[in-house]
Amino acid sequence: MGLSETRHFAATHAQTVHLAEDRLGFAWYSFGIRHPAVFTPRARGGCAQGRSPGLVILVFPVFHTIEKRVHGAFHAHIQVRYGVDLAFAIEQPRQSDFGEMAVPAAFQLAKQLRQAPKKIASELASEIGPIEGVAAYEAAGNGYINIRLDRGAYGAGLLGGESEEAAASGEKIIVEHTNINPNKAAHIGHLRNATLGDTFVRMLRARGQRVEVQNYIDNTGVQVADVAAGFHYLERKSAAEVKALIADPAVRFDYYCWDLYARMSAYYHDHPESAPWRSATLHAIEAGEGDIAELAHLVADAIVEKHLATMLRLGVEYDVLPRESEILHLQFWASAFELLKDRKAIYFETEGKNKGCWVMPGLSEEGKVIVRSDGTVTYVGKDIAYQLWKFGLLGKDFFYRRFKTYPDGGELWVTTDDPSAERGQFGHGSRVYNVIDARQSYLQDVVVAGLRGLGYEEQADRSVHFSYEMVALSPRCCAELGIALSEEDRQRPYVEVSGRKGLGVKADDLMDTLIAKAQEEVDSRHAESAPEERRRVATQIAIGALRYFLLKFTRNSVIAFDFQEALSFEGDTGPYLQYAAVRARNILRKLEERGERLPDFAAELSREAMARQLQSEDFWQVLLAASKADSAVERALTAGEPAHVARYAFQLAQAFSNFYHQYSVIHEENREKKVFLLWMTDFFRRQLERTAAVLGIGIPEYM
RNA sequence: GCGCCCGUAGCUCAGUUGGAUAGAGCGUCUGGCUACGAACCAGAAGGCCGGGUGUUCGAGUCACCCCGGGCGCACCA
């Protein structure tokens, strides 16, 4: 999956450039700095911003603009001088004192010209004419051309708000994530899925992309059936009794089901003779008749609510919940089946071990069974139908009703089979990302193969399995949870989370623990603040820590979950970012508390003043880093790697923390320098807050 | 058996698509709080990038072969 997926990303994002500026950043001065909540209104969100279609999206493309200029100039010069149409990328030098950009073109030319790269580099460096925004070139190393920017012009460009409007994209991208079976509480593995998916969505929206977030609900599957069977056969509870249980505020229903599911799974395992319960339950659910079917609906609906609440704590919202029950009732599969048969994407096997089944050829020697010999469809088959619907290729649609309105105004819809309900506004994506863990790669390949088999090559190319590795438990974590490990498991580097065995860290428990720990820190530092305010700050810190922890790993690395690491607020963590932003704000707040006002930067900071101040390497490095927020998100999008955004944010915060320690801003006596430092501090603050918002991390009022 | 992923500092992980002297956090050791709050900063020690052979100006990165670990390969979802 790795290779082809990378290619997808490269093809998708190569031409796009820009990231949203939080417009409120511009309005900030007029609001005054006493109300931080005003200029970070979406501590958790940003979703509504992405949803509103008319928003003008502004960016600071100064670096990118110069980059393009440099590339163009070298490309043209090389063409004229050597007659070569050379493809090359602008790189970032290894060390900051080498300059801001590096052109490696001489290495590539060396091969074609049969000359030493060093020689070519010196030729290029001395012959290339002046480029706007560039102060100097020099040949260095074995053949690099290092480029130093005109710092005064650069700073003036940022201050002047040279901005562009991101090209509004008409196409809609569908991102499907979360997809938790609605039969038990969410655990850390689900949190990784949702956080990755949500952050990817924020990255796309930051770039001005239209995105639809789907959270598929398998409310008729085996997992729900097992819990329904648990209530019915093991606990002998009626639907009415379960209803009462759900309504009981003393019971955490999703936790209750967590245990019941583990018990029922164990029972099935120990009592193979009870297997008919399972199929009886599934049949009842499909037929929609009887107490047990009602039980299943009650369980699924109640747990979906719990999951939505859990995810909202993390700032994760959805646009639509496509449900398996409607896929069933509206007979999506029947339509897909006809298509697959008509276009010969599947065939009826008449012999061998798959005799009597409809099989998709190609992926393995025996092919993949899509329809069983008893005529029922497998999970992948239904998934193919769902994928077809996402692209608008099924020839069928759901009906929809509004499910809830989020506190930030966003609307969540759910599918229904009621023909009098609304229709038409979902699906029809031009590109689809399925955030699903790496263990399901094979099945995702089958889905894509299904599209190809139907002749939908283009859509197959635009179906991306946004895969990630699982979250497992470290041995120490198991010990802390009191999980007894077998001798075999103890030898392993980590233990897989298992809902079936009830083995795992529940999402809400983890968040509660994080909040409690953050609360201790906040209480010890800000005993004077109102309790509910401290609670809010602690929550933001906890969520920031959690989201950052889940995002800092690249997708294909297994996370061996460890409480000590996840609960850390120091070093490479979310709170570190928040702390840097809070400090930048405090500088600006203190200024006002001293009775001073924020200067009119544009009036006081001439280009010459910028150039003077930016001679300081320390100042220049902070400003340069802060100005690259857009391209950091851009690069992360190209790589399909939210972790890259996290890394950039951390490095930016680090640069500022370093600066903060070395220089005093409000006590600076030189007027020009003070104005410059204030401007830089504010610019940093805005850029870090924007980047944190892309990560779904809010900035607390204080820390 | 076949396929995919991983192996980088004591630990947990980055490494900008093949570039310059391989980085960060934690941990260890040393130093720094007078509110722009130390949830921080500075410094030190710490590396055969699992091993080997290739490809080329250049390899942690690409190819092939080993070694070690993980995950898939159901008429389960």
Give the tens place of pLDDT for each residue, A396-411.
999 999 999 999 999 9
- A22 membership: H or E segment, kind and range: none
Per-residue model confidence (pLDDT) at position A168 = 60
Does A14 have pLDDT greater than 70?
Answer: no
C-beta within 7 A of nucleic chain B, residues 331-370 of A: 353-357, 364, 366, 368-369
How much is the ipTM here? 0.97
Q: What is the mean pLDDT of chain A?
A: 88
Per-residue model confidence (pLDDT) at position A490 = 79
**Which of A97-101, A521-525, A672-676 shows the lowest per-residue confidence on average (mean pLDDT)?**
A97-101
Number of H-type helices and E-type strands within chain A:
31, 16
| DSSP at A234 | I
Does A41 have pLDDT greater than 50?
Answer: no
Per-residue model confidence (pLDDT) at position A320 = 98
Angle at A176 between CA A173 and CA A179, to 5 degrees: 170
Question: What is the fold of A62-159?
Answer: Gyrase A; domain 2 (3.30.1360)
Confidence of residue A565 (pLDDT cuts 50, 70, 90): very high
Residue A594 CB in 7 A reach of strand B: no
Residue A639 CB in 7 A reach of strand B: yes
Per-residue model confidence (pLDDT) at position A423 = 86
Does A40 have pLDDT greater than 70?
Answer: no
Report the distance from CA of residue A137 to the C1' of nucleotide B54 in Å, as an integer. 37
Does A342 have pLDDT greater than 60?
Answer: yes
Do A78 and A86 touch, CB atoms closer than 8 A?
yes
Helix axis angle for A629-639 and A642-662, nearest 10°, is 150
Does A512 have pLDDT greater than 50?
Answer: yes
- A463 membership: H or E segment, kind and range: strand A463-468
Domain layout of chain A by residue ranges: 22-56+570-694, 62-159, 221-316, 475-565
Per-residue model confidence (pLDDT) at position A210 = 94
In terms of CATH, what superfamily is A22-56+570-694? Answer: Isoleucyl-tRNA Synthetase; Domain 1 (1.10.730.10)
Q: Where are the alpha helices (DSSP H) in A470-573?
A: 475-481, 487-491, 507-525, 531-551, 563-566
Bases of chain B with protein Cβ within 7 A: 4-6, 12-17, 19-21, 23-27, 32, 36-42, 56-58, 69-77
